[in-house]
Structures are given as structure tokens and as C-alpha cells.
Amino acid sequence: MSARLLAPAVLALAALGCGETLTSRSVTGTPGPAHTGSVRIAMGPARVPAGFSEIALIQARGVWSHATLERVFAGLREECAALGGNLVFRVRIDQGAFGAQGTGLCGHAPPN
């Protein structure tokens, strides 16, 4: 297929709302049972909360129509909750035209 025909097809798919959010993890601590409450997000170089227990380094990537901060934050929260965490800490976001990604440390912090 020539580039002249491929470009409109790609744009048409994007306009239809095609997209997905992908997550990944690298376990660095001990996961627990899935967390059913809310998962907080802490951006950038925030201080480590007292009693924070690290579980994993996690990543969420949104592509095409899912390349939004809301989708990336939702992916980070879902991945962390599945590992038993209630806090995604030191989150960094990179957003472009066709993709967005966020990384952070998933862990468990005692209630405030």
C-alpha cells in the first residue's frame, strides 16, 4: 500500500477512537492482595511518606485516542491496585501527539 493511501486510513482509524492503554510492571517488593480502595498519584520528586513499602516500578502507555493524561493515570492506578498498592509515587509523564506514558513506583502507604 502506498503512503498516499496509508495516511488517510491511519487518520480515519484515529478519528474512530481506536486506541488502547497498555500497562507493565517490574516487581521490586512483595505484592499483596488486590487493593479495592482508591489509589493516590504523587507527581515528581515528592518526599517518601513514612511507612511507604515499595511493590513495583509500573508504567502505563496510552496510544491514539487513549493518549491522554486521564487514561495514563487510570492505567497506573489499575496496575498498582492489582499489586495491592494504594499509592503511585514519583510519577513522571511524557505526552506526545500519538502517545502518552507515565511511570512511577507502586507501593503501600499507611493512611494519613
Cell readout for 37 is: 480502595
Summarised one tens digit per residue, pLDDT across range 62-97 is 887 777 888 899 999 999 999 999 999 999 988 887
- Determine the pLDDT at residue 9: 55
Average confidence score pLDDT of the chain: 85
| Main-chain phi, psi angles of 88, to 5 degrees | -105, 120
Cell readout for 89 is: 509515587
Give the model's confidence band at 102: pLDDT under 50 very low, under 70 low, under 90 confident, else very high.
Answer: very high
Element (H, E) at 75: helix 69-82
Summarised one tens digit per residue, pLDDT across range 12-27 is 555 555 777 888 999 9
The model's pTM: 0.80
Cell readout for 13 is: 482509524
